[in-house]
């Protein structure tokens, strides 16, 4: 269990760790020598690997609604998935980027977002709340959010070229050190507040991936090929 809302709902949220092995998403199942890790991990969590819909990320803002038909598929160019169908599990991969779990308990709908600085800047989490509102009449003030472990402001240094794009979030850019640092979690909280999500419905995992040896961190490990974790949400059947 990652988040308090899992206790009172039939929603399952998971995040793999280093112990479960690397889990990069290739374009097709069976393409990757790492697929076995994911299958073993899913089974250990009671999830049928054939019921998974995986986003093959592109750091964009494309969000897809999925249902039974997409089970077992890997969808390219997508950074967010959502559904209201029980037994359809949604997956993104992360290693420093934010895995954001979105839950509408009232309409029994769930979503998951992968957000790096580009996704945060273009408001992908806001877009997810809006899409769920359109599809399921989701009321933002009922939405519960879980932000999984990610690189926190303590370790997220960026170049000036990136920092200056976050002008409207000036209070989330820290400049006490040589290079600017961005508080992506803080920006996401602000964006959620602006669309009407209650601050006390947002749970933030306190772990910074860069500091946590049991989690993959791209900034720390430089393992772009394989060093990623899988984040999953779904409605139990
Ligand atoms: Zn840190």
Considering the entire predicted model, what is its pTM? Answer: 0.95
Q: How far is CA 232 from the centre of its chain?
A: 8
Return the CATH number at 26: 3.60.140.10
What spacing in Å lies between the alpha carbon of 144 and ligand 1's midpoint? 25
CA of 68 to the centre of ligand 1 (A): 39
Rounded distance, CA 112 to CA 138, Å? 15
What total number of domains does the chain contain? 1
CA–CA gap between residue 168 and residue 100 (Å, rounded): 22
Q: What is the pLDDT along the chain (237 residues), one digit of tens a residue?
A: 689 888 888 999 999 999 999 888 765 555 667 888 999 999 999 999 999 999 988 888 999 999 999 999 999 999 999 999 999 999 999 999 999 999 999 999 999 999 999 999 999 999 999 999 999 999 999 999 999 999 999 999 999 999 999 999 999 999 999 999 999 999 999 999 999 999 999 999 999 999 999 999 999 998 776 789 999 999 999
Q: What residue numbers bound the domain in which 80 lies?
A: 4-235
Cα angle, residue 147 at apex, residues 128 and 57 outer, rounded to 5°:
55
CA of 151 to the centre of ligand 1 (A): 6
Q: How far is the CA of 211 from the centre of ligand 1 (A)?
A: 5
Extract the tokens encoding 7.
């206790």
């Amino acid at each position: 269990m990652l988040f308090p809302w899992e206790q009172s709902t039939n929603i399952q949220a998971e995040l793999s760790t280093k112990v479960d092995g690397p889990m990069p998403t290739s374009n097709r199942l069976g393409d990757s020598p790492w697929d076995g890790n994911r299958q073993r991990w899913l089974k250990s969590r009671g999830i049928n690997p054939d019921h998974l819909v995986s986003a093959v990320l592109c750091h964009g803002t494309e969000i897809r609604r999925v249902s039974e038909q997409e089970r077992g598929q890997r969808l390219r160019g997508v950074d967010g998935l959502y559904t209201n169908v029980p037994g359809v599990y949604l997956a993104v991969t992360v290693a420093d980027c934010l895995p954001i779990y979105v839950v509408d308990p009232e309409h029994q709908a769930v979503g998951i977002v992968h957000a790096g600085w580009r996704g945060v800047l273009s408001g992908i989490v806001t877009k997810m709340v809006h899409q769920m509102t359109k599809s399921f009449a989701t009321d933002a003030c009922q939405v519960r959010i879980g932000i999984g472990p990610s690189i926190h402001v303590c370790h997220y240094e960026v170049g000036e070229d990136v920092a200056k794009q976050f002008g409207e979030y000036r209070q989330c850019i820290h400049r006490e050190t040589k290079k600017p640092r961005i508080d992506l979690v803080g920006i996401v909280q602000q964006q959620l507040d602006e669309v009407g999500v209650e601050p006390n419905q947002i749970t933030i995992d306190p772990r910074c991936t860069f500091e946590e040896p049991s989690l993959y961190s791209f900034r720390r490990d430089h393992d772009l090929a394989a060093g990623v974790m899988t984040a999953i949400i779904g409605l139990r059947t």
